Amino acid sequence: MTAAPLAASNTDLDDHVDNEIAEYINLDKPRSFFLFAGAGSGKTRSLVKALSHIRSTHGRQLVFRGQRVGVITYTNAACDEITRRIDFDPLFYVATIHRFAWELIQDFSYDIREWLRTKLAADIVELQKAEAKGRAGTQASITRLAQIDSKTRRRLQLDTIKSFVYSPTGENREANSLNHSEVIELCADFLLSKPLMQWILVGRFPFLLIDESQDTNKRLVDAFFATAVKHPERFALGLVGDVMQRIYADGKEKIEQGLPESWARPSKKLNHRCPKRIVRLINQIRSAVDDHDQESRSDAIEGFVRLFIRPANTQNRQAVESAIRAQMADITDDEQWRSLDDCKILTLEHHMAATRLGFEGILEPLLAVEAWRTSLLDGSLPATRFFTQNILPLIEAEQRRDKFAVARIVRSRSPLLTVEALKDSPDPGALLRRAQDAVTALMSLWKNGLPTCGQILDSVAASGLFTLPEVLKAIVALRSSQGNPQTDEAEKADPVTEETTALLGFLDAPFEQVGTYNTYVSGQASFDTHQGVKGLEFDRVMVLMDDAETRGFMFNYEKLFGAKAPSSTDIKNAQEGKETGLDRTRRLFYVTCSRAEKSLALVVYTENPAAMKAHVLARSWFAEDEIDDES
């Protein structure tokens, strides 16, 4: 009997792509490009190969010119990984978008000052107009007046500032510091309005490569686009990404469709991460969006996928999910499915994780402000960062009675004990006692139970222990005035902004939720989401989908799986080419499914199990024996 021929190896399928990119990153004839790199396609490997090619081919010439290669990545972890893989070569400047933007603008103190002067003046005028139309004494009025006062004081301080400072990972609480959003806005505005800034960019960085380009701030991407169009003979912009993996609201939608005709569009097709069965599934998921099908490696395992459909009224969901993991252990003959520590549990929506882990009091109010979602979920939102970076470490140090840690935190972060404050004070000892009294007052809040975030904020504001971020200063003024409420009629006629409502709701949350929230956004919790795991991979993945727990906020799994019809708004948005909740849900479902290296369990709770099963079978997402609906 003749043995069946071995399947031809396809592991070199995408090698030509790296050769193509090498042609584009040529100092004599640069060409901008967009590299499509789907899930598990080895985009980091291609990025590192491109950098190695630049070093071997153009390294000496770049050093002679005093130039470097810019590489923008989405996270600090990605920066560290790429830097390590290029042997920490100083020829390459690898940074997050905020750090890179600051690198470009940090020497332009005069321009920054004038930009801030203009912006603050415009903000003040808008607030004054709103105040003139509103009603005196309302919560909205109190907030506006506090904001006008804060912005006016900051504007008056501008002429005393010789240079500005910024830290991508710090508090940026000094009078001469810029916040994260200002750095992005400044860089984008300067690149678009000041021709000199474009010349500086291309002079310093003739090659700029951007990883996860679909999630990079759209205003800055547009500014880089404009630079590439203006300087095609001196500058190559290389975008790496996949529109199906765009998960942040401030990323650039449909980035591939807006590329100039002259750009190259190389594409990687091989998925090195996922087993064959999961590659077929994710191809089906994205087939309604584009034709970027992937191929699995010829030596990949077959793998396992199972869809578990459970009724929406299922009680004790965690017990149900534990039983499903036991089923997966039997199906896959992999006992590690039984251990929660050996599985990655993913949710498509943060509400689910917040409810299960117990920090919904923090997340839910703030998540309602669309402009804050990205920074809330990566831990950089000033309002939450104030608590996670200042209050939380101090409280934890006090509770474990670590006096040295308490002293270190207060000395390094409190405005009461800065070098300038101690030097200028006639009695430095008095400042030390004041700082100690502030810590004592803060800790006294625990004597009457568990304090809220608002009670802690009030204490810190009164003592001056830490500098408050601008966004919380107006809220402090509002909270201190709540003993003089206005009539319901006045408040309805002059309502507070959605940002103020969100902050007030957040401050009602128990402070104990801050630690859990911090663990979650740091990626250390048992549950994770699409944001936390993009770019990562796990042997065993369980994805939980439950519209009841997410309240249909931003995403809707029942519509994706056919248990509910699209809404009229979804249909209208789709007809107008706008993003729909179904689009967002499909993308995030793709990201979570594509994390699995061996086996994938999908758990969905629905009000209509029969319709859901029929829908996914009709679309060939799953075979009959891959669906468990307890029928």
Which residues contribute to the annotated binding site for ATP? 37-44
- Structural contact between residues 35 and 292, judged by C-beta atoms closer than 8 angstroms: no
> Both ends of the chain: CA-CA distance in Å?
44
Supply φ then ψ for residue 176, to 5 degrees. Answer: -100, 15
Distance in angstroms (rounded) separating the CA atoms of residues 613 and 617: 6
Tokens found for residue 54:
């630049």
- The annotated binding site is made up of 37-44
Q: What contacts 194, CB < 8 A, 6 or more positions away?
A: 111
φ and ψ of 393, to 5 deg? -60, -35
Contacts for 379 with CB less than 8 Å, ≥ 6 apart: 385, 388, 518, 521, 522
User: Hunting for tokens 């590192």 — which residue is that?
Assistant: 48
619 contact partners, CB below 8 Å, separation of at least 6? 284, 562
In 160-288, where do the E strands start and end?
207-210, 236-241, 267-268, 270-271
Q: How many CB atoms neighbour CB 628 within 10 A?
A: 17
- The token pair at 118 is 């203009």
State how far the Cα of 189 lies from the Cα of 605, in Å rounded to an integer. 46
Backbone CA torsion sign across 167, 374, 362, 357: negative
Exposed / middle / buried, residue 206 (Cβ in 10 Å: 0-12, 13-18, 19+): buried
Of the candidates 231, 229, 225, 292, the one whose C-alpha atom is nearest the C-alpha of residue 252 is: 225
Residue 387 and residue 459 in contact, taking contact as beta carbons nearer than 8 Å? no
Distance CA 50, CA 18 (A): 7
